[in-house]
Structure 1
Amino acid sequence: MSAFERNASPWMHGPEYAVVAEAMRIGQWGHNTATEAFEAELAAFLGVPDVVAVSSCTAALHIGLLLAGVGPGNEVIVPSQTFCATVQAILMAGAHPRFIDIDADTLCVDSAAVQAAITPSTGAVIPVLYGGRAIDLTEIKPELDRRGIAVVEDAAHAFGSRLGDKRVGATGMLTCFSFGPIKNLTCGEGGALIPRSPAEADAARTLRLLGVTQSQAARIRTTSYQVDGVGWRYHLSAVHAAIGRVQLARFADIETVRRRLWRAYARELSGLEYVALVDLDIEHTVPFNCVVRVVDERDKVFETLRDRGIGVGVHYPPNHTQPAFRQWYRPLPVTETTARQTISLPFHPAMTEHDITHVVSELRTALADLRRNSVQSARR
């Protein structure tokens, strides 16, 4: 399969296979010292005191909301333009979503939209760092703090990106990362939570391990252990951590390649009529995807590209129109228009600039064919 036939793909460097085999050979399959080493290396990379590695970003969001005190009776402000896991985490915490619209240019929420959605029931805000772009809520952060409303960042797309001179995760929020198969940094599966204090770190580690307070190292030296409350099996295995450690050591290469490919798309798409590239603030962003807005006949363009072997996708169908979440529906005109117009072009580090030239060439041809057919139909 050609690289441009896949919308996204893991990028392994080679050593990942060896470290997985070694971890399995010595029996380090579950949570172990490799997980703790990965946490320390992530903390050093991000410039934060601590990181709690977990099994997914969904798990991180669930724990983050619980740490923020979110529960039954609370609303959580969240954009509808996100993967359904974000909303599921809100429901898992016992709260419900209050969907808000996005900015048409960035596909992210802004301070004004968040502020307008606050109610007496608001327990938290989940800004989704769509495509990897960081979100600045600085101007309303004092009001959020005054009202006891936590910010739990869904940074599933944004590992490595920056807000100013700080990496996402180091800006004082409860930040949640994904290390799933196609993310900027992959563990195969996994995620991480950036706590705001040592107390939150301790609580998160207890929640991720079924409410057990002792570490594995402590448990093997005693005849018992203590369960202090409800928890989940959310820990990151040593096998997955081993993959993450290799990826993190090579992250400078990952960052460089992803930025170079995104810029190649920007050059190739420049001046293309009826198509607009969604801006990611590439100077500060390690891009997760490459999204274009097709002004007219998006579905036909999508189908034509698929038929031509181009691995396009749509990220994401709006959550406020999904059957499971429809009871919280409210009109979101920008989100709904975006859902009808956007296409995610193939984007992953296994691609070359030649692949990108081919994808845009096929997009240009598809648009021309559709325009020509439209003119011919109008003349009949």
Structure 2
Amino acid sequence: MTICTKPDAGRNASPFLYGQEAAAVAEVLESGQYGHTDVTEEFERRIAELLGVRDAVAVCSGTAALHTALLAAEVGPGHEVIVPSMTFCATVQAVIAVGATPRFVDIDPATLCVTDQLVMEAVTTKTAAVMPVLFGGRAVDLTSIRKELTERHISVIEDAAHAFGSRYGARRVGGTGDLTCFSFGPIKNLTCGQGGVVVPRTHDEADTLRQLRLLGVVKSQAECANTTSYRVDSFGLRYQMSGINAAIGLAQLDHFESTERIRRSLWRAYRRALAPLDGVTLIDVDPDRTVPHLCQVRVPHRDKVFAQLRAQGIGVGVHYPPNHLQTAFADWARPLPATEQVAGEILTLPFHQHLTETDIAQVATALGQALKMAGAASCARS
């Protein structure tokens, strides 16, 4: 039974295209303008409109979004950034890239997200930023500590790589007043092939981000076309989003209401299918407000269950191995009991828009069988 992705059965996620993306890319290619163009700027306008914000700054990846956001918030050497260990390594690498120190924090096992209490327990005199990860698409509520963080001049920089389209209350993630970073990689809720966006807090911050993504050059696209020189005022990086990637994103935006509806429906189908299974704890993504990016469960005998499902061609995964236990980040390790407990139980089920409810029912059946086999094997050895 191979039902996880197309064409690679070894993955648990898959890009989903609506059919207009190729024509949109072809139009950019025919124009001869492949870099940051008016297509990129139109993508920024459309993103800002959807999120209900004034500015959105497009960059070449979600990691670039995190990096430039930290730079714009003036986070650097001598600073600490509070970050959950349960996240993709890009979150931590962005902190290290600006010369700051990651201050790993534990998570709520029910959501895999940080909480206000856990954040405040990790704050030190060196804390310059908090980087909550909106795991699986779920918004993180730091309302109760926002005033204290502001008074301490601590920036909130949301890693919303999983959360494009999700809501916090009535507002979309990105429209809540924080620096917010989105990823538009191949398997995200909205894809550009590769890309990202930073939502700034102020107009000045937007200007800073646009300068950072273009090697510190101070000049608009139109000015570059009509003068013989340019001015470099600051450090910067080659992080612009190309018109090719933006064209894919624009085509995806035309269908985003369908994306929201389908992904919520699939997640709810999993909730129904998994409900009868003993020993399975579904990670709560709050589907009424979230555009789900993942469907995850906690199970006993995880490694055995993983192997059995993979042997059947079901593309389960593990998101993510904790960063504080990785060799590259060992210098900043500290005990995180909830993270370490969850790390041995978490299992990511196939979740993408190619799935049907029949596929989901088959995954649930196979999971139940794998749990019984793993449990029986464990009892036999004991």
Segment of structure 1 superposing worse, 168-177 or 24-33: 24-33
Letter in 2 for 1:66: L
Aligned position for 1:212: 217
Aligned position for 1:364: 368
Aligned position for 2:33: 28
Letter in 2 for 1:36: E
Structure 1 stretches of 5 or more lacking a match? none
Deviation at residue 154 of structure 1 after TM alignment = 0.1
Letter in 2 for 1:77: I
Question: 1:264-343 residue pairs with structure 2 within 5 A?
Answer: 264-294=269-299, 296-343=300-347
Query: Are 2:84 and 1:79 equivalent residues in the alignment?
Result: yes
SS of the aligned residue for 2:182 comes to strand
Aligned position for 2:140: 135
Deviation at residue 377 of structure 1 after TM alignment = 4.1
Aligned position for 1:346: 350
Contact 2:14/2:186, CA 8 A, preserved across alignment: yes
Distance 2:62 2:375 in 1: 42
Segment of structure 1 superposing worse, 147-156 or 65-74: 65-74
Question: 1:120-199 residue pairs with structure 2 within 5 A?
Answer: 120-199=125-204
Q: Quick one: percent identity of the two aligned structures? A: 58
- From 224, 229, 234, give the equivalent of 2:229: 224
SS of the aligned residue for 2:42 comes to helix
Deviation at residue 297 of structure 1 after TM alignment = 0.9
Deviation at residue 218 of structure 1 after TM alignment = 1.2
**Post-superposition CA distance 1:244-298 (Å, at most 9, x none):** 001111100001010000000000000211111101111100000000000x211
Distance 1:103 1:374 in 2: 28
Question: 1:16-95 residue pairs with structure 2 within 5 A?
Answer: 16-95=21-100
Distance 2:289 2:75 in 1: 31
Distance 2:327 2:74 in 1: 27
RMSD: 1.0
Deviation at residue 376 of structure 1 after TM alignment = 4.1
Query: Are 2:251 and 1:251 equivalent residues in the alignment?
Result: no
Deviation at residue 62 of structure 1 after TM alignment = 0.9
SS of the aligned residue for 1:343 comes to strand
Distance 2:380 2:146 in 1: 55
Aligned position for 2:101: 96
Q: TM-score, normalised by structure 1?
A: 0.98
Deviation at residue 373 of structure 1 after TM alignment = 3.1
**Post-superposition CA distance 1:298-345 (Å, at most 9, x none):** 100000000011000000000001111000000000001111000000
Contact 2:166/2:173, CA 8 A, preserved across alignment: yes
SS of the aligned residue for 1:175 comes to strand
**Post-superposition CA distance 1:177-220 (Å, at most 9, x none):** 00000000000000000001110111100000000110222101
Distance 2:220 2:360 in 1: 47
Deviation at residue 368 of structure 1 after TM alignment = 1.8
